[in-house]
Structure 1
Amino acid sequence: MMSSINEQLDSMTTDQSNIFKGKWPKNLVALSDVIDACLAEEKVVANKLTEKIIASIAFYLGGRDLYLPNGKSLEMFLRNLRIYQEFNGRNQSELAKKHSMTERRIEQITKEFTALYRHQRNKAAELKGK
């Protein structure tokens, strides 16, 4: 199904593509702009790739009420992941100072990620067993 959509997108002229994008909701246009900027930053040049990505998102997730965390939430998650990765079981105090947090918060973060990884491993093992 997606291959036929991609073929149709490939066959569009620039004018047709602009009309297509002109019918999108504002948030989808904003998402398209973000994807375009990311691809340009990575020096990826692919004809109509953004439109194909947007079409795939719409095809698979269309009609859903989708929540995207804001940048601050994502930054905090990535910071907490770095803390977990730097944690060696004996450097709680050092990490607390480095990240301007309490040792208790460092402990909470490491426990949260330990539980998350354990849950992922258990799910993977369940899937292998099926």
Structure 2
Amino acid sequence: MNNHTNDDQLELIQASHRELEEALETLKNLKPDEREDFTKRWPSTLQSLCELMRVTLDRQAVSNSVHISEALATTLSTYLGGRDIYIPNGERLKDALRDIRIWREFKGNNLEQLSRNYDLTERRVSQIIAEQRAAFVARKQRRLF
């Protein structure tokens, strides 16, 4: 990441910090009926984002998921609200996680099995193994220095 973008982001955070803290404090102290009325007035995209975060937090057994998801949605709204941003569809992330699973399951003699399990060619599984091996070696070498 270049320094210009990093500096812009820090400036954005610092400029909105006090305003965000006040908003989060108010949100934290809302009565249940006030909270329900308040979140119902959010734009539908923000409501959906909040619900996605709540469900994810629930699946991770995080207590107080409703309040945390509302605080996260408020924070994102404060810093990114009104901006035209692109959120990737997640395919690259899913592929990266699949590749890690393949690497972990690789035993040296199960290329054919992995290709069947993941519906990939043996050649592609071999490429993934090579990429994951290189990443593994790079991580090991960083720890040495």
How far, CA to CA, are the matches of 1:37 and 1:27 in structure 2? 15
Find the counterpart in structure 1 of residue 11 from structure 2.
none
Equivalent residue runs for 1:36-51 within 5 Å: 36-46=54-64, 48-51=67-70
CA pair 115-9 structure 1, distance change in 2 beyond 3 A = farther
What RMSD, in angstroms, separates the aligned Cα atoms of the two structures?
3.3
1:16-54, Cα deviation, whole Å (9 max, x unpaired): 323432332222211211222233344433262221111
Find the counterpart in structure 1 of residue 115 from structure 2.
96
2:38 to 20, 28, 31: 20
Could you state the TM-score of these two structures normalised by the residue count of structure 1?
A: 0.65
CA pair 84-55 structure 1, distance change in 2 beyond 3 A = same
How far, CA to CA, are the matches of 2:78 and 2:102 in structure 1? 37
Give the share of equivalent positions with the same residue, in percent: 28
Q: How many residues align?
A: 122
CA pair 77-25 structure 1, distance change in 2 beyond 3 A = farther
Q: Which structure 2 residue ranges, 5 or more long, are not aligned?
A: 1-16
CA pair 64-81 structure 1, distance change in 2 beyond 3 A = farther
Could you state the TM-score of these two structures normalised by the residue count of structure 2?
A: 0.60
Find the counterpart in structure 2 of residue 105 from structure 1.
124
Find the counterpart in structure 2 of residue 82 from structure 1.
101
Q: Which structure 1 residue ranges, 5 or more long, are not aligned?
A: 126-130
